[in-house]
Structure 1
């Protein structure tokens, strides 16, 4: 059965666990986090965006989390820290611990491999031959784990996750409902107007502390492995193609599509619904805006955007028609510049 929630901590206890400086009554008890606008008694708000600064004066929160420059902007109890947003996330984790489950194998689960006594296996789970599970692994209902899969300590698989043969999952990784790890990559060879399937014999290797959102798919490699590095956070309904190499601590927002053999170096951020063409490399620290299309390598950090601005449909059609003639216009301008130099 899930462990009951209901954690309450004083500001002094929170600061002792997470650091930060307490101003005002350190005995103020907090049982939940909330926005400045919605917070009430027993809740702690936070200021992470300057456009909400005025809400410091109107919030009904029992306490707030603020950066040092706002330490004197409010009279109520507060915790001052350099990064209020990250601090809020850690407070939320303290006050809302992840549900824990009693170890054991549900009678309806099919476990063909040895399962540690610390594992919690839900109903209708299928575990293949040669599977290696770490300690304190939780596998919810309906998951299917094929032969020779390795899953590290502390992992959580929510309902209906599928992990294909030979894939490896690091420690403390979370896979949400409907995630598919290790399905065949999209590989077909043309032959006389038909398509011949190319066996996908690589694996998927996922590092430690990775979180993958619901209904996301990560394809196995054609020859080499598809790799996702430590600390990556991957949202819902994302496609990661075969032989991709995702570096450490990358963030990929919902509905992004990453074609095969793409390399994201460390700490790349990919916005929602972005599309990345195959065999592209994106440099460490690059940020891809939501909805952008990446067709070539990005060699330097920075923000990159290819979204055409939204406007009234008639204007959009007019501008789109002009874009088709830009190449010819550029050629004409270049020719005019040459002629102008001759005349001068």
Structure 2
């Protein structure tokens, strides 16, 4: 199904340079786009590639437009944020081809009589919805999902197959929970006495806002007494662990395999690279950006980029560097001794 460039600009804005009646049928990368595609340039280093692209149209920033236009003959949509524009156009094309699940409850699903399921919602095969749960308008509950008692799923939210959403937990509107996500499992809470661990009941909930995305096999623990809170617009990638009683601020994003220990409080608009780790009970301010593989072992109270890993090297070089690091304390003491000796010699010389 083709879409006019004029319709895209009318819907998403931007300045069109070219024929508004030109139709495109999809979006593709610069190097593989053909005459039926629209592509985008979000990295100025790829100007040369964009200028030679076979795409029917390009989404470009004002800074890149003049350079690209010198050799590129297709239409252009000029906008201040080509990457965000690309995301919206990609969503638009995806929606055109999307197969929307039909409203209704599959015969094999088990829905408690006290659960409230909106007539426009879809409940897939072998799903289970327990007593008191509320499933909002347009919600999609995929095959094999579990929604616990008194849980709430906001309008337009989708649970892909085999998501577990435990008792009392809530998510707002337009959320996405990918397969294998587990929301509201017990936090890791134990007291130790005489060498034995005594379990602490985890009686809090997980409360998630609107437009929250949870990746495949990501787990968010319920609070011990208070709630674990995930604010609006948070994006969690695959295989992330969020401990009990954590609070994650709006529009914070975490890449795969991040681990956040219990009771950490993370601000708004933060980013965490893959495999970053956050120790428990720490506070991280708004607009903090943590590099991949970084261990956050203390609170971060000022915005900025933080990195805490040693660069990769050949193994032999790394072992030499590690040996030096292990001996730094001894080397420091030797330097202090030498400094004292030099000072004594200098003073002795000045007295003569």
Does the pair score TM above 0.5?
yes
Q: CA deviation at 1:327?
A: 3.2
Q: Which runs of 5+ in 1 are unaligned?
A: 1-5
Cα distance in 1 for partners of 2:8, 2:336 equals: 65
- How many residues align structurally? 338
Greater shift after overlay, 329-338 or 117-126?
Answer: 329-338
Residue 109 of structure 1 corresponds to: 109
Greater shift after overlay, 312-321 or 23-32?
Answer: 23-32
Residue 156 of structure 1 corresponds to: 158
Residue 299 of structure 2 corresponds to: 297
Greater shift after overlay, 192-201 or 91-100?
Answer: 91-100
Aligned 1:77-92 pairs, distance under 5 A? 77-92=75-90
Q: CA deviation at 1:189?
A: 1.0
Picking from 30, 33, 51, the partner of 2:27 is 33
1:337 to 1:43, Cα distance in 2 relative to 1, 3 A:
farther
Q: TM-score, normalised by structure 1?
A: 0.95
Q: Give the structure with higher Rg (CA).
A: 2
Cα distance in 2 for partners of 1:221, 1:126 equals: 23
1:332 to 1:140, Cα distance in 2 relative to 1, 3 A:
same
Q: Helix, strand or coil: the match of 1:182? A: strand
Q: Which runs of 5+ in 2 are unaligned?
A: 348-352
Aligned 1:48-127 pairs, distance under 5 A? 48-72=42-66, 73-74=68-69, 75-97=73-95, 98-112=98-112, 113-127=115-129
Residue 11 of structure 1 corresponds to: 5
Residue 226 of structure 1 corresponds to: 228
Cα distance in 2 for partners of 1:60, 1:299 equals: 48
| Aligned CA-pair RMSD | 1.5
Cα distance in 2 for partners of 1:188, 1:69 equals: 57
Q: Helix, strand or coil: the match of 2:88? A: helix
Cα distance in 2 for partners of 1:332, 1:201 equals: 55
Residue 171 of structure 1 corresponds to: 173
Aligned 1:173-212 pairs, distance under 5 A? 173-212=175-214
Cα distance in 2 for partners of 1:180, 1:290 equals: 24
The structure with the largest helix share of the pair is: 2
Q: CA deviation at 1:182?
A: 0.2
Tell me whether 1:320 sits opposite 2:322 in the alignment: yes
